[in-house]
Every structure is written in C-alpha cells, then in structure tokens.
Structure 1
Amino acid sequence: MKSKIKRFFLLALALVLAVSLSACESSGQAASSQVNTWKQVEKSKTIIWGVRNDTRLFGLMDIKSAKLVGFDIDLAKAITKQLLGKDGKAVLFQTSSKTKIPVLKNGNVDALMATVTITPDRKKQVTFSDPYFNAGQSLLVKSDSKIKSIKDLNKNGITVVAVKGTTAVANIHKFAPKARVLEFDDYGQCFTALKAGQGQAMSTDNGILAGIAAENKGYSVVGGTFTHEPYGIAVDKGQTEFAQKINQALKELKQNGTYNKLMHKWFDGIPGFSIKEAAR
C-alpha cells in the first residue's frame, strides 16, 4: 500500500514538473517571438506612420487638397525614402492625443511621428528615437506686448490662458507663481480668450504656439522655451534595431540638408520662433 502511495506522489510530482517546464518554455518562446518591426519594414518596403491630423505645422488635414500636410508628414516621408530607397512607401495613419500610443502598441502602425513628447512614463511603454524637434513651453502674446519672457509673468495682475489638465498649467504655477492661470478646454478657446483680452499671454509647446502665430497676424512667440520637452519618434517597446535605423536616417537627413530645408519650409518667418533652437 505504501509503495502504491509513494508511486502516486512521484507520478504527480513528475506531472507538475513537466507542466511547469512546458509553461516556462512557452513563455520563453513568446518572449523571443516578438516581431522584428525593422525586418518587416525592410521586406515590405513600407512604413506605416501614426501622424496627427489636427496640429498646424506638424500634421493637419488640408481641406482643399484633402491631404495631410506638415513638418511631421514631410519628415516621415523623408525618413522612409532614406531607409528604404526611392521605392519606399510611407503610409499615413491618423491618430490623436488619446489614441497614438494604443495604435502603436496594438500594431496598427510601425512608428509614431505625432508630436510625441519624450517622457519617463512613455519610455516604459515605447522606445524613442533621438529627439527630432526641441519642443518646450513658451508664450504667445500680442506683438506689441511688454511681456517678453516667463519672468514678466511674475507680476501682479498678469493672467495666462492655458489648456485645462495640461503640464502647461503646472509649469506656469512653478515658474511664475504670482500669475493667475485661466484654464480652457482646448487651444482654440485659449486663443479666443487671449484675443478677447481675458489674458495677456497664452502658454503651451512652442511648436503649437508657432502654428497659431503663423495664421494670426499681430501675435508673436516670445521668451524662447522655459521647459525642455523634446519630441521623439516612437516605436514599440524593445524595437531597438528599428529605432537605431531611424536615428541613422535622421542623422543623414541633417547632414544632407533635408532636415534644415523642411524646418525652414514650415517654420520660417514666424514672429519670435527660433528655428535654430527647435533644431538643436
């Protein structure tokens, strides 16, 4: 009887070990079976880019041509050609602030070129290229305003308009604690409030402010940037080879003058905006 019980337990133990080893093996295979995005891109000669369709100068749907236009759009196409040759194809997939990371994680796109700020939290989810646009918080004011920098906001009676729930609000409180912050739901409402005199300055990323200044005469971006929040190209977490290829393409585009040409195409002549600083 004891012999049978002992035999039963030995068989049960062997079964448990076998299942455990099988699970470990499956887990290891799953971990090592992540699709190599670069190899897929290289084979298909196609990169699917997640881009914005609502951000002037970077990615915006042009009503007349029904095409996406902007710095991000042109740079995505240039990187595609640099990596894959003249036959390389850039497919544009429209995203938003809320959807851009999910569509990348779900495999709907190969890379994001969508004004994605490089942050520690995002680095936990995605792998970033080197920065391609030196974004940072800045100020938009009327061109004849006495406000020239963040320091000028730290005076009694100054009101700054900003989008509700963004880091811009917290940064104004941090860098100009005496300023009053009036919050609105979106950039359109903020700018309307600025024009109506409800505030003396509007604050958010310099690139976004440049887009507003570009289509509204009498307004300027001032004071440079008082935060450092650069944009990077995002690929899925662990796609290091693809990120390295993108970095190499960016480097080559800067060396051959293409990057500088695109910067001037989209940002030249905007009052107060520094191309040199943004390209740094």
Structure 2
Amino acid sequence: MKLVKQKRLAVLISAVAMAAAGCGSAGKPVDPAPVTDVQPPQPAHVGGVDAGGPGSANKDCNTGSLAPNNGTGIPSGSTMAKIKERGKLIAGVDQTTFLFGFRNPTNGSLEGFDIDIAKQVAIAIFGTAENRIQFRAITSSQREAVLERNEVDIVVRTYTINCDRLKRVNFSTAYYVAGQRVLVPNSVADKVDGLEDLGGQKVCAAKGSTPLKTIAAAPSKPVPVSVDNWSDCLVMLQQGQVAAVSTDDVILVGMAEQDPTTRIVGDKFTREPYGIGIPKANEDMVRFVNAVLDNVRAGPWRQSYDKWLSKLLGDGSPPPAEYK
C-alpha cells in the first residue's frame, strides 16, 4: 500500500512539473515592429523657400515713413481715438525669440526689446501699458495678413522694412537695424564663415522672413529649410537636421545665449531695419507712432537696449528717423 502511494505521488509531481514548464515559457517573443533607426521628430510645418514671401531689404523704392504732424496728440475720430475708446491696443508680437519677444518661463509674461517698444505705443495712448495692451502671438509669415485683416493695430516683431512689404502694409521709421549672419555648432565653427561655406547643406530660417529668401538666393546654393518660428530652427540645429541657422544677428545672439554649444560666425551681410507694421489705411497711426518713436529714441530706447542687448552686443544707439 505504501508503495502504491509513493508511485501516485511521483506521478502527481511529474504532472505538475510538466504543466509548470508548459506555462512558464511561451517561446522567444517576436518584435512586431523592429526599429533599426530612430529619427528625431521635426517641428510642425517644415518646408522650403516660400515663393510668395518678401524679398530682401532692397532700395528700389522710398522706404522713408510719414512724418509726425500732431505729435502724440489724439485727434477726435482718429485711429488712436478709436483704440482708446476700445480700451486696449492690440499688438502682434513674437513669443519665441529670446531677448526680443519671448514668454518668461517663470511668470508667463511676454518680455523683450520688441515688447518694450510695443508698450511705449500703449503708454502714449493710455498713459500706461498696464492692462492696456493685448498681445497676439503670431509667426513671421502671419505679419502682413493680420494687418491687412485689421486683426491687430500694430505688429512689432523683428519686422524688416522693405519694398515688397510696403505694397501691403505701412511702416513706422526704423527703431532698430540688424544684419543677417550665420549660427553653427561649435564643432564646425572654424570651418564656416558664412553662407558661402554652406553650399548644398540645409540652412534654417523662418517662413515669411527676409533671411529665407537671402539663403535661397545665395550663389553657393545652400538648401533653405523653413519653419514657423525661430526657436524651431534652434531645435533642428541641435538635432542635426540642419547644418546652420541664418537670420538677423540679434535673433542669433539670443539662440547662442540659450545654447552655448553654438556660435555665430562671419560678418553681417544684409541690412535689416526693423519698423512697426501698421495697416495700410491708417496713415494717422503711422504719424502718431513715429512721434512716439521720436520720444523713445530720447530715453526709453537706451533703457531697453541696456536691459536686453548691451551685454551681448556692446554699445548701441537708435537709428535716425528717415521720412519721405
């Protein structure tokens, strides 16, 4: 009897062991989607040169602005009077360009040199910019469109005055003059001195910008890559998706400050006078804004420049007003 029980126990143990072996191993797992090469994601809306974009800051037209005639007074029925009655100045600005128009990550507010300029227009109308200015973040390619549709009163967004744009919108006098340069990784900075050394290589710029057209027209034939915002160019450079970024020096200075593994190379090879964009029909607003800028050149310009740019660009001064 004892021997029978021992045999039954042995059979039971063997059966349990076989079941456990069957449940414990399902064979080698199969990867349904093997990955051999992971590419970093690109920013949204990456493209090439936009054929309908503006040309360079050429001189085949009179780029002078309208001279002030009432100072910063606000006549009844004027564009400025309507803005004052509304209670807010609506300004199209950038929120992605460090030092000129960017969102402070600590408090969420918009800051930078362009933001300070926009606030000066609000102060001239309302006596203060506090709760009197509504910022609308736009891309470079949206600047003319929002002005033509009267969705904003002004655009202050590193906005180069040129002949192509003057066909569609009005500009104030220039409040800053920048120049296009090139930003590359430190690892190749000694080998690159400008677009002439980037033939056949991808160079990034924002859609609707003058630098994008300059890249496309370069004799060395770099490959223009366009994105919505300048911050997208920096990301693509960091990920090795483009060889360089080329735009105005003041924008590149902000990128280099954010990423010390990059360097600005070469000299300026364009002249980019920044003006405040204003709807074509609102000539009274153009004259008013020019009066504001005359006052800004006398004091607030220097304060803003010292706050945002002097440590990186050295001493600077506002450009003189040029009128028609």
TM-score, normalising length: structure 1: 0.69
What residue number does 1:8 align with? none
2:306 corresponds, among 264, 272, 278, to 264
The equivalent residue for 2:156 is: 113
Residues 154 and 279, structure 2, Cα contact 8 Å, conserved in 1: yes
1:215 shift after superposition: 0.9
Aligned with residue 297 of structure 2, among 251, 254, 269: 254
Residue 55 to residue 143, structure 1, CA distance change in 2 (3 Å): same
Measured after TM superposition, the shift of residue 157 of structure 1 is: 7.4
1:172 aligns with 215
Q: Which has the higher strand share?
A: 1
Gaps of at least 5 residues in structure 1 are: 1-34
The Cα offsets for residues 86-131 of structure 1, whole Å up to 9 and x where unpaired, read as 4886412313124433333333322111222223232122211011
Q: Is the 8 A contact 2:181 2:247 kept in 1?
A: yes
Structure 1 residue 149 displacement after superposition: 4.1
- Equivalent position of 2:136 in the other structure: 94
Tell me the amino acid that sits aligned with residue 127 of structure 1: N
Q: Deviations over 1:136-192 (max 9, x none)?
A: 321113457225743xx53587845223866535423544x3364363646455434
CA contact (8 A) 1:47 1:89 kept: no
Structure 1 residues 45, 154: CA separation in 2 closer, same or farther (over 3 Å shift)? same
**In 2, Cα distance between equivalents of 1:252 and 1:164:** 32
Residues 215-241 of structure 1: per-residue CA shift (max 9 Å, x gap)? 112433333421123221111113222
SS at match of 1:134: strand
Question: How many correspondences in the alignment?
Answer: 239
Give the structure 2 partner of residue 126 of structure 1: 169
Equivalent residues in 2 for 1:175-214, closer than 5 Å:
175=218, 177-178=219-220, 180-181=222-223, 183=225, 185=227, 187-188=230-231, 190-195=233-238, 201-214=244-257
In structure 2, what is the equivalent of residue 276 of structure 1?
316
Q: Which residue of 2 aligns with 1:24?
A: none
For CA contacts below 8 A with separation 6 or more, give which structure has more relative contact order. 2
CA separation in 2, counterparts of 1:179 and 1:274?
Answer: 33
SS at structure 1 position matched to 2:269? coil
Match for residue 190 of structure 2 among 126, 143, 146:
146
Take 1:74 and 1:251, find their aligned partners in 2: how far apart are those partners?
A: 15
Q: Which residue in the other structure is 1:36 paired with?
A: 78
The AA in structure 1 aligned to 2:117 is L
Instruction: State, as a whole percentage, how many aligned pairs show the same letter.
Output: 30
Task: Give the gaps of 5 or more residues in structure 2.
Answer: 1-76, 320-324
- Residues of 2 paired with 1:195 and 1:212: CA distance? 11
> Which AA in structure 2 matches 1:101?
E
> Which residue pairs with 1:242 in the alignment?
285
Calculate the TM-score normalised by the size of structure 2.
Answer: 0.61
Report which of the two has the higher share of helix: 1
For the 8 Å contact 1:141–1:147, the answer to whether it is kept is no
Partner of residue 74 from structure 1, selected from 116, 124, 127? 116
The one-letter code of the counterpart of 1:276 is G
Structure 1 Cα separation of the partners of residues 79 and 136 of structure 2: 20
- Residues 161, 83 of structure 1: alpha-carbon distance in 2 compared, 3 angstrom cutoff: same
SS class of match (1:276)? coil
- Check the 8 A contact 1:160/1:203 in 2, yes or no: no
Quick one: structure 1 residues 50 and 189, their matched pair in 2 at CA, closer, same or farther if it must change by over 3 Å? Answer: closer
SS in 2 for 1:75: helix
Matched letter for residue 196 of structure 2: N
1:73–1:196 CA distance, 2 compared to 1 (3 A) = closer
Asked if residue 103 in structure 1 is aligned to residue 146 in structure 2, the reply is yes
If you compute each CA radius of gyration, which structure gives the higher value, 1 or 2?
A: 2
Secondary structure at the counterpart of residue 141 of structure 1: strand
**1:12 paired residue number:** none
Q: Secondary structure at the match of 2:276?
A: strand
